[in-house]
Chain A
Amino acid sequence: MRTFLAVALFEIKTNINEKYTLFMFIGLPILLTLILGTTFDSLLNPDMGLENKYLLYVEEGDPVGEGLLEYLNIEEIKHYIQYEQVVSPEEAIDRHTDEAYMGYIIMEPSTGEKLFNNEPVELSYMSKYNSEIIKGVLGGFVEAMKMYVTMLEDGVQAKEPDETAFISRGAFNEGNTFPKSIDYYAVQSLIQMLVFAAILGSNTLTRDYDNDVFIRIKTAPISKAKLIFAKIVGNVVYVTVAAVISLLVSGLVFGANIYGNFPLILLTIMLFAFAMIGIGIIIGSLVKNLVISVGITVGMVTFFSGVSGGMTPEASSPFLQIFTPNYYAKNIIFGSIYDYDASIIGQSVLALFVGIAIVYTAAILLQRRKMA
């Protein structure tokens, strides 16, 4: 037992002495929380505003065109689209490349007349960014116009809408609290940092292969399995302590909401680190070269955090993220802070355990094959 603890302690000390691991496990998550938490503060706010100016062409005297101008002057719509009227479609197309404009909106001449005559008409637009939002906002106008014209044709007087918002945010938890940007990225950056633990896993193995430790160990009073396990424990402890430090910095310095079920969060961090170190051991066993395993791990970090919403929630992939451990760790930690249904947390914990079982079975099989 003493040998086991000595090896684990040696591993912790080695990690502390490596400056780059300190940057990786403490500096990086703090830096990412700061950058992402402040950058996306406006984007994750439900009242986000977009400064989008478009060049707009509508034919003078066209009733539908005038309707569009009226629609774009509604305060709520101004939130998404501001416009500058131009005299011809060509002018809109020519000038839209200017940095000051987000694109253009062109209404076909005689739209009103064509609509009443049941002829197909078009409202074309070009948006450099946020094209989906603009399409949605213009879609609202187009649908309303179609409705007014149909009602007039049927001799029914359309009434001006007396209200325009019908949706309230549904509550997942009692206090109806949701993560703000800084809360979201405090957790996401922490998980991203934990993926880097795979480097420690592969380091554990490749360093010892390089130094012929596994040959020399045959004359030492510790088995190879025990040695590797002691190193894993040392690395898990080191990563867990670093994660807790960065989590505390996020909470105490940046004011992020990290206040969930602490034992559960700690367990998640340890399980995740354990899983990642296992993956690192597999990578290390397969490639036996630390440089290559670092390359693979960096790719893994970028992929895992990208598809699970670590960069931005909008870039996450609903399909791919269920194959990443980040997704389950995120569900447990957010679930613990924001009172998700117990079944979601339970399933995610189970998924992490299953993942660990698969990873370590593969790691053990690979090691046995090498020994054979």
Chain B
Amino acid sequence: MNIFKLTLRRLFSNPVRVGVMFIAPILFITMFVLSLDVKFSVGIVDDDMSYFSKAIAVELSERYNITMINKASITSRVAEYGDGYVIHIPEGFEDLLNGPAGMIELLGYYQTPTSKVAAVEEDINGIIARMRSITQGVEGDMESAYSIYDAYREKKFDIIDSEGASGVQERFVSAMGFLIQFLLYMSIATTGIMSEDKQHGTYYRNFYAPIKMRRYLFESLLAFMTVGFLQVTIVFLFVLGTMNFAGTNYDAAFFFKTYLIMMLFSIVAIALGLFVVNIFKSATAAYTFMGTATTPLVMLGGCYWDKSLMPDTLNMIGKFLPTTWAMDGIRLVISSGTTEQFLEILGILLLFTACFFALGLTKRVDVAN
């Protein structure tokens, strides 16, 4: 097993390879998945400075990061906080609470209308509707309105995210999406050394050495798969250790099935890497191609978002990609799909592996020449 050991040593002696395979996926999952709970930024321009306009800021501060700003800095605030939101409360806002319908108009500023923007606007509309109900109920007697508002805010009627389980599925699927992305990077980071061997002539010098080409390929592939399995295991353990699965029905069988899918996908990825390395003559071209092609591959596979968001044409294209089937497998396990459906997905992933291996290990015309 000299080639196996040597290949592993070569793979682990390069700090960038180790970074791409083991550190980067954990870093990205931490940044983009585990930080999903970070509070949304809301800026408030309060030109009214009344009891109720200030109360809006107090209510919103329970759910969002609130900053009081002035009117002149609205545009820069939204531009700086790309996903942020600014609400402008005009002068005379409180006086209009008891007025006729259609008189109150606040201005909301944002770059793109995301679901976070929709949620914050829904909140603000609700707050104002309640303030309006109170002031209209007391027929404009503002002292009574303030007193009722304070009493209502004291009441205890809490909304509980059941055992903190909400969003766990969303985060788990996203984490698996990132793992798939980094398995694709791993595929080229590992199989790429075969391309380097060809470029430096090492591959061809094997013909003069007392080893068979079959052994070289077998031991190299075994080393790549070992790295792939290690990557899946490390990221999986990290995800299990950092996410709170309490309150979900995710049991040992669930984790075993998702782990199995990821293990199988690591083999698919290595076979794909082998195929890419076989297409490109230079290692640079293979690395660059895979580095750039990975983004559309994971996007079309639904690794960043649910497939239902994509148009039918893109979903149809996605069916020809292994990333789609791996993500389908994860979502199937989450939604408690049947064993037959699970086996079908494993079968399709095996088929992809066979195809990529066949394409990656043939076309040895250059050797013959």
Contacts and interface: CB of A to CB of B under 8 A. Distances in A.
Contact of A126 (B132, B247, B335): B247
B321 to A, nearest CB: 12
Interface in A33-84: 35-36, 38-40, 42-46, 48, 80
A167 B90 CA distance: 11
A315 B32 contact: yes
Contact of B284 (A294, A301, A322): A294
Interface string A297-326: 111011100111101111111101110000
A144 interface: yes
A158 B137 contact: yes
A97 B249 contact: yes
A313 B158 contact: no
Given A48-B118, A128-B169, A318 B84 contact: yes
Contacts of B63: 136, 139
Contacts of B244: none
Interface string B255-295: 00000000000000000000000001001110111011111
Given A292-B14, A327-B82, A161 B155 contact: no
Contacts of A199: 288
B317 to A, nearest CB: 9
Given A20-B280, A126-B166, A309-B82, A154 B148 contact: yes
A265 interface: no
A295 B17 contact: yes
B152 interface: yes
A135 B78 CA distance: 24
Given A161-B129, A295-B287, A151 B299 contact: no
A126 B162 contact: yes
Interface stretch (A114-122, A219-227, A252-260, A354-362): A114-122
Nearest to A308: B82
A242 interface: no
Given A80-B122, A129-B306, 4 more contacts: A20-B280, A35-B314, A115-B155, A316-B83
Contacts of B284: 203, 290-291, 294
Nearest to A34: B314
Given A199-B288, A309-B83, A312-B304, A125 B115 contact: no
A205 B20 CA distance: 22
Contacts of A294: 284, 287-288, 291
B101 A156 contact: no
A316 B82 contact: yes
B126 A139 contact: yes
A98 interface: yes
Given A140-B123, A299-B24, A321-B82, A184 B137 contact: no
A169 B113 CA distance: 10
Contact of A170 (B107, B185, B289): B107
Contacts of B294: 298
B151 interface: yes
A168 interface: yes
B310 A39 contact: yes
Q: Which 3 A-B pairs have the closest CB atoms?
A: A99-B335, A170-B107, A140-B126
Interface string B88-114: 100000000000011011111111111
Interface string B149-183: 00111011111111101110110000000000000
A143 B130 contact: yes
A151 B137 contact: yes
B16 A295 contact: yes
Contacts of A136: 63, 119-120, 122-123
Nearest to B33: A315
B292 A296 contact: no
Contacts, number: 323
Interface in A120-178: 120-140, 142-147, 149-151, 153-154, 156-159, 161-170, 172, 178
B16 A159 contact: no
B41 to A, nearest CB: 6
25 contacts: A20-B285, A35-B296, A35-B300, A36-B299, A39-B314, A99-B336, A111-B157, A125-B159, A129-B170, A143-B127, A146-B152, A146-B155, A150-B151, A150-B152, A159-B133, A161-B132, A162-B101, A166-B128, A287-B16, A294-B291, A295-B17, A302-B28, A318-B81, A318-B84, A334-B111
B134 interface: yes
Nearest to B155: A146
Contacts of B83: 309, 313-314, 316, 318
Contact of A168 (B84, B107, B112, B167): B107
Nearest to B284: A290
A169 B108 contact: yes
Contacts of A103: 166
Contact of B162 (A28, A104, A318): A104
B219 interface: no
Contacts of A168: 105-108
A298 B126 contact: no
A179 to B, nearest CB: 7
Contacts of B223: none
A129 B167 CA distance: 5
A255 B120 CA distance: 31
Nearest to B106: A167
Interface stretch (A230-238, A273-281, A339-347): A339-347
Contacts of B110: 169
A106 interface: yes
A321 B134 CA distance: 42
B121 interface: yes
A192 B366 CA distance: 36
A115 B310 CA distance: 45
A172 B75 contact: yes
Contact of A317 (B31, B40, B130): B31
A125 B16 CA distance: 44
B161 A297 contact: no
A136 B120 CA distance: 8
A114 B140 CA distance: 30
Contact of A121 (B134, B156, B288): B156
B82 A147 contact: no
Interface string B57-101: 000000100000000001110111111101110000000000001
A248 interface: no
